[in-house]
Chain A
């Protein structure tokens, strides 16, 4: 285990029935910064998070927190982790304060501490005005903030947010992301999953790409981009769309990662000029017509797509 390993996941496997969700997955989460996990729906993100907090037991492998097996210290871990699920884990028929007070009690907090902590959390989440409002009467954004507040009521060391921006409009997403940043600034380690890669890229210090139950890439957004931006990405569309013939020609010309998506062909290459000449030559030879052509550095989404297509 490296010095920076805060949470380490070692070769965990998890299946549900005949379906293997995680297979020998290993991951190291550093102590500092927001850690993001990206992956397609059903790739095992939520399962991984549930195993990290000790809710589910893997068939194989171990999760360590600060070098300690979390299964062997589950009661302590329960107090150290906060978890906000995709759907939200609050009681709609309880008020904001009642929800917080109830969960605080379950986290062994004392009455005086609870009162102080509720004030702090409500202030942080900007929910003071809604203290006595039933959770079911809150707006979607407030409901989400209450869920995070409940996850933080016991002042956890690690806050895990599973798709926190799901179902939120762009404005609320932006506000929530800012809030998550503030939580991180307050000293709580944040682990977040999201399928909105553009947003996760903005706040995460480290990103892991999970696909088919395995970690494909891990690193800072810049590291990941650097890894992929040595290549440029060329996106073309031809009139005849005879890509089965074109792609082998481009591979011979130095295209590293070439694939078709919808009407376009994407080519990752470090020899952009050579590829473009080859394309023009192909068009001329075959009597085809080039409808569009773009040359870019890949975004994090493209990094993700490229990584998951490997």
Chain B
């Protein structure tokens, strides 16, 4: 044994002012070697404590797998809906049928009271009360009452929202029919107006043609020259008398000729009379033509006015911008739409589940390892070795961090199995990074508790209490909006909320690294503060460590 010491002394540093026979110091070895041994020791302790190993390594795997299998759906299963109406109408039956076609189990209940009691007794999740003889007319008061159990606040809003949506879809369909009818009539009127306008245009055209014809007729009539002079037979008589003298024409011949002339004069006079009658008729026709033209002018004005009015009607109908029935029935839609395109409940609750899981496991694991170390009594021997105390803390952290890396790998693998089609590789990488940062914070917090408290029961109580406080003051159970603004301003710095926000940004909104830096740095800041607290707590715990 002494031989060994002498052998070692050849490489030992002799300290000045110290008796060389006794005061020899081994040179410090690389801290990384000590750290390695400390970490290996911690991991061996964890693995050889089979229950702990089972919990810390397989716990997250089992939990996340079960959660993933259970919640990886976009529908609600086995929802029982009770309905009541004192008198069902085709409309209410139609709505019920619509609900039945979905995943809901519908049962008509005998009374409104029984229907509500069915929800109270949790036999049914919803009670829907339809008004009697529900129908669509101007006097109908179609209020469908939906009763849910608000004590089950997490599902109440979801169910009422879904049922409301189903009922409003039915109402929208009915409204659509009505509006369609109105729009059809309007459309038909518009078509007929246009057709009428065309007819009027034709009439106007004919009118103008008639007016022109009348004017032309009038002009033609006016152009007929029916003037004539009276028949003068004096010269003829004189000539006959001259001929009588010259050619010795008998009086009889002359008389005969005179008779003929008289007959001619008579015929001429008759003709003149007829011409005068014709002239009078033409004058009358011209007057009538003027009257017709005037009338046609008047009609033309009226037709133009009618045409203008029809044009205005047509333009007014055409000016209706929204002719889509759905748009008219529901100008503002109130359907609940997801803010993310992801179609799985699991992904919505995943940030909360992951943070909860990492928080509990990291907190309990680190606190438990510290308290196990403290209770092992070997803790004391670490103190009296020439080793920097911070190395043991680092060792504890690194050991827990290695477990965290394993757990995170398992979680990421499970997530990849379920969401490889939905999430990008960057999302998986960032999720892994954030889980490590989140886990590191909770590891340090657990170490702080481990150093502060001295028994497993108190440290477990403290860590669970801390976890519960962080959980209660988050969105996981009740919305933060239920808190006063003052409280909310404080609670927004809850590490659980910050962690949840980080994962939501990545998993639901596809944030990149630059989009998560603020909460990430905040969490790192918290981690540093907790680390300082843990260092102080360790020094404090050493001060009161009992070796007896």
List the interface of chain A (C-beta within 8 A of B).
16, 46, 50, 53-56, 66-68, 73, 75-76, 78-81, 83, 85-94, 98-99, 101-103, 105-110, 113, 116-117, 120, 124, 134, 150-151, 154-155, 157, 162, 186-187
Q: Which of B34, B378, B385, B547 contacts A78 (CB 8 A)?
A: B385
A238 CA / B386 CA spacing, docked (Å): 61
Q: Which residues of A contact B319 (CB under 8 A)?
A: none
Q: Is the CB–CB distance between B547 and A105 below 8 Å?
A: no
Q: Per a CB cutoff under 8 Å, which of A73, A108, A113, A157 touches B28?
A: A108
Contacts of A113 in B (CB 8 A): 4, 7-8
Q: Which of B17, B29, B48, B382 contacts A108 (CB 8 A)?
A: B29
Interface hits, B35-72 → A, CB 8 Å:
37-38, 41, 44-45, 48-49
Chain B: minimal CB distance from A108 (Å):
4
**A54, A75, A134, A162: the one within 8 Å of B25 (CB):** A75
Q: Are A91 and B29 in contact (CB under 8 A)?
A: no
Q: A56-B543, A88-B377, A187-B1 are in contact. List 18 more A-B contacts (CB 8 A).
A: A53-B384, A55-B384, A66-B22, A66-B23, A73-B18, A86-B548, A90-B381, A91-B376, A92-B376, A93-B45, A98-B44, A99-B378, A102-B38, A106-B386, A107-B385, A108-B28, A124-B1, A155-B1
Q: What residues on B are CB-neighbors of A150 within 8 Å?
A: 381
Indicate if the CB atoms of B547 and A85 lie closer than 8 Å. Answer: yes
A residues less than 8 Å from B28 (CB atoms): 108
The interface centre, meaning the residue of A53, A89, A98, A117 with most chain B CB atoms within 10 A of its CB, is A89
B4 adjacent to A106 (CB under 8 Å) = no
**B37→A106 contact, CB < 8 A:** yes
- Is there an interface contact between A107 and B377, defined as CB atoms closer than 8 Å? no
Instruction: Check B377–A89 contact: CB distance below 8 A.
Output: yes
Q: Find out whether the CB atom of A110 lies under 8 angstroms from the CB atom of B1.
A: no
Residue of A nearest to B545 (CB): A55
CB distance from A65 to the nearest CB of B (A): 8
Please list the 8 inter-chain residue pairs (A to B) with the smallest Cβ-Cβ separation, ordered nearest first.
A106-B385, A89-B381, A78-B386, A108-B26, A93-B48, A46-B548, A105-B37, A85-B547
Q: Does B343 belong to the interface (CB within 8 Å)?
A: no
The answer to whether B4 and A155 touch across the interface, beta carbons within 8 angstroms, is yes
Given the complex of chains A and B, what is the CA–CA distance between A50 and B548 in angstroms? 10
Residue in chain A with minimal CB distance to B7: A113
Q: Residue on A with the closest CB to B380? A: A89
Of chain B, the residue at the smallest CB distance from A187 is: B2
10 contacts between A and B (CB under 8 A): A66-B19, A73-B18, A75-B25, A76-B18, A89-B381, A93-B44, A101-B37, A154-B26, A155-B8, A186-B1
A107 to B383, CA, bound (A): 11
Query: Which residues does chain A contribute within 8 Å of B17, judged by CB atoms?
Result: 68
CB distance from B17 to the nearest CB of A (A): 8
Residues of A within 8 A of B457 (CB): none
Cα(A124)–Cα(B15), bound, Å: 30
Find out whether the CB atom of A87 lies under 8 angstroms from the CB atom of B381: no
Task: Answer whether residue B33 sits at the interface, using C-beta atoms and an 8 A cutoff.
Answer: yes
- The answer to whether A102 touches B41, judged by C-beta atoms less than 8 angstroms apart, is yes
A229 to chain B, nearest CB (A): 33
Q: How far is the CA of A131 from the CA of B141 in the complex (A)?
A: 89
- The verdict on A79 contacting B18 (CB below 8 Å), with A55-B383, A90-B378 known, is no
Within 8 A of A (CB), among B85-144: none
Cβ of A108 and Cβ of B384 under 8 Å apart?
Answer: no
Docked pose: A102 CA to B385 CA in angstroms: 11
Are B377 and A85 closer than 8 Å at their CB atoms?
yes
CA distance A91 to B11 in the complex (A): 30
Q: Name A98's contact: one of B4, B5, B41, B385 (CB within 8 Å).
A: B41
Q: Is B387 an interface residue (CB 8 A)?
A: yes
Compute how far the CA of A150 lies from the CA of B27 in the bound complex, rounded to whole angstroms.
20
Q: Are B1 and A78 in contact (CB under 8 A)?
A: no
A68 and B386 contact, CB distance less than 8 A: no
Closest to B391 in A: A106
In the complex, A272→B457 CA distance in Å? 60
Chain A residues with CB under 8 Å of B45's CB are 91, 93-94
Chain A neighbourhood of B37, CB < 8 A: 101-102, 105-106
Q: Mark B514-548, 1 if CB is under 8 A from A, else 0.
A: 00000000000000000000000000000111011
The reply to whether A106 and B382 form a contact with Cβ atoms under 8 Å apart is yes
A83 to B382, CA, bound (A): 11
A73-B18, A94-B41, A155-B4 given; A50·B547 CB < 8 A: yes
- Residues from chain B with Cβ under 8 Å of A86 in the complex: 547-548
Complex Cα distance A106/B395, Å? Answer: 12
Q: Which of B27, B49, B377 contacts A87 (CB 8 A)?
A: B377
Q: Assess the A73–B4 pair: CB atoms within 8 A.
A: no
Chain B residue at minimal CB-CB distance from A95: B44
Task: Note all chain A residues with C-beta closer than 8 A to B41.
Answer: 91, 94, 98, 102
Closest Cβ–Cβ distance, residue A11 to chain B (whole Å)? 21
Once the chains bind, are A106 and B34 in contact (CB under 8 Å)? Answer: yes
Interchain CB contact under 8 A, B382 and A68: no
Contacting residues, chain A, for B381 (C-beta < 8 A): 83, 89-90, 103, 150-151
B6 CB to closest chain A CB, in angstroms?
Answer: 10
Residue with the highest number of chain A CB atoms closer than 10 Å, among B8, B11, B382: B8
Complex-state Cα separation, A302 to B545, whole angstroms: 34
Q: Which residue of A lies closest to B11 (CB)?
A: A110
